[in-house]
Amino acid sequence: MLVYLRVFKESFSFALNALRNNKLRTFLSLLGVTVGIFSIIAVLAAVDSLDKNIKENLSGLDKNTIYLSKYSFGPTDVPRWKRDNFPQTEYDDYEFVRRNIPDIEESAYVIFGGSETIRYQAETLTNINITPISHGIYTIDDLKVVQGRFYSELESDTGAPVIVIGSNLAENLFDKANPIGKVVRVYGRKLTVIGILKKYGANFGDSPDDKGFVPANFVRQFRNGGVDGLPGAVVIKPKKDVDIGAFESVLKQKFRNYRGLKADEEDDFFVNKLSGLVSFIDAIIAGLNTVGWVISGFSLLVGGFGIANIMFVSVKERTNLIGIQKSLGAKNRFILLQFLFEATILAVVGGLVGLFLVWIISLIMNGFVEDFKFVLSFANMFLGFGLSTLIGLISGVIPAFSASKLDPVEAIRTGM
């Protein structure tokens, strides 16, 4: 055992001395591995961070929540021309669902895509997401109000001129003034601010912090039933103990009957579940990971070839020294380990530099990007270290083996 430890120590020392004596060559070899490891770990960390942020933002929502709409949230076999001819989901559809579908805990009607201008006195903000939606969304999305209140079911049904706004919107519009009771102008009409939502941070799609919520029936009073080309949807939260498969079947059948679809006619609507959206997001994340591996793998491959090339040059330069070492009794395994250590040290140091650069970038991003947390996990760090070690071993094994098999007499003669 002591003999192997001594061989290990001496081989390690030889490798370090060789790297110190060829600083430029060492730097160029390190650069290749550094770029490769940096590329892979940066991509994986970015994708993991995106996945983590999206999942955290969706964690508060019930995965069984259903969006009944003319649009599909994921891939579909229905041709585009057919989907374009589907009827919009109207408020009357929502009323039917609310009154006729059993086992619903809460439901709401929402109109998507409202980008509006909001004014308070001399302050004007443009391109603000104002979402017309009925009262039920308060329960479905588990919204939290820190000042004032959310509009009631009565205010929702009657289309009262009230608005609930996100924390960022309140700050940008009113600065430090208390927004509750203030009158703002949206759609060219006066609305009274009755509530401020808590600060949520970044969210999948858009954040409640920068949004305003108004009763859907308020908008329907002056905008062609509230649609005007903007898509609507019925949002449904089933009861917790319900069989979601059976619930979905009942919903589809009753809604088909309501729309007068015959048995041989296809659905002219989509039943989108948040669980399906999560699966779709998982598929996208997996695809991004694969693309990242493929692209970054080329960089790592170049780094590995760079180390192998440098090691062959190193063997050629030190042929005379190898012959002398072997003539003095150095075993083949000593020569083999010497070059393997040199290649591995190169790769590991390059990998650690790559990890360090990713860590620095994560600190910078987390310092400047408030609503997105860049996460460099221990698993990714371990993966980077392991990959760099593996690349060093693979890149160095052939040059090291060829060096260990050199004939001492021929090696001394060749090196003279």
pTM value surpassing 0.85 = no
Are 110 and 133 in contact by the 8 Å Cβ rule? The answer is: yes
Q: Is the pLDDT of residue 304 over 70?
A: yes
Query: 409 or 178, which is more confident?
Result: 178
| pLDDT in the model for residue 56 | 65
Separation between Cα atoms, residue 162 and residue 196, nearest integer Å: 12
Residue for token pair 């399906």: 276
Q: Is the pLDDT of residue 101 over 70?
A: yes
169: which 2 tokens?
């919107």
| pLDDT in the model for residue 225 | 46
Which of the four pLDDT bands, split at 50, 70 and 90, describes residue 43? confident
Q: Is 242 exposed, middle or buried (0-12, 13-18, 19+ CB in 10 A)?
A: middle
At residue 197's C-alpha, the angle toward residues 195 and 198, to 5°, is: 140
Q: Which residues of 313-330 are buried (b: 16+ CB within 10 A; e: fewer)?
A: ebbeebbeebbebbeeeb
Lowest mean pLDDT among 57-61, 163-167, 223-227, 276-280: 223-227
pLDDT average, residue stretch 76-90 = 85
Lowest mean pLDDT among 135-139, 296-300, 358-362: 296-300
Q: Is the pLDDT of residue 311 over 90?
A: no
Separation between Cα atoms, residue 219 and residue 113, nearest integer Å: 13
| pLDDT in the model for residue 134 | 92
Q: Is the pLDDT of residue 11 over 60?
A: no
Q: Is the pLDDT of residue 109 over 90?
A: yes
| pLDDT in the model for residue 228 | 54
355 contact partners, CB below 8 Å, separation of at least 6: 37, 38, 41, 381, 384, 385
Are 68 and 267 in contact by the 8 Å Cβ rule? The answer is: no
pLDDT average, residue stretch 43-67 = 71
**What is the per-residue pLDDT across 225-270, written as a single tens digit (0 to 9) for each?**
444 567 888 999 888 888 888 888 999 999 999 998 888 888 888 8
| pLDDT in the model for residue 278 | 65
| pLDDT in the model for residue 415 | 52
Are 8 and 337 in contact by the 8 Å Cβ rule? The answer is: yes
Closest CA to 390 of 347, 354, 336: 347
Highest-confidence segment of 207-216, 319-328, 344-353: 207-216
Separation between Cα atoms, residue 318 and residue 22, nearest integer Å: 12
pLDDT average, residue stretch 288-313 = 74
Percent of the chain with pLDDT over 90: 15
Lowest mean pLDDT among 57-66, 75-84, 99-108, 246-255: 57-66
Separation between Cα atoms, residue 207 and residue 186, nearest integer Å: 19
| pLDDT in the model for residue 70 | 87
Q: Is 147 exposed, middle or buried (0-12, 13-18, 19+ CB in 10 A)?
A: middle
Separation between Cα atoms, residue 233 and residue 70, nearest integer Å: 8
DSSP state of 133: B
| pLDDT in the model for residue 262 | 86
Q: Is the pLDDT of residue 76 over 70?
A: yes
Query: 116 or 281, which is more confident?
Result: 116
Q: How many CB atoms lie within 10 A of CB 70?
A: 17
β-bridge mates for residue 147, sequence order: 196
Q: How many CB atoms lie within 10 A of CB 110?
A: 23
| pLDDT in the model for residue 155 | 92
**What is the per-residue pLDDT across 330-353, written as a single tens digit (0 to 9) for each?**
677 777 777 777 777 777 777 788
Are 211 and 169 in contact by the 8 Å Cβ rule? The answer is: yes
| pLDDT in the model for residue 71 | 85
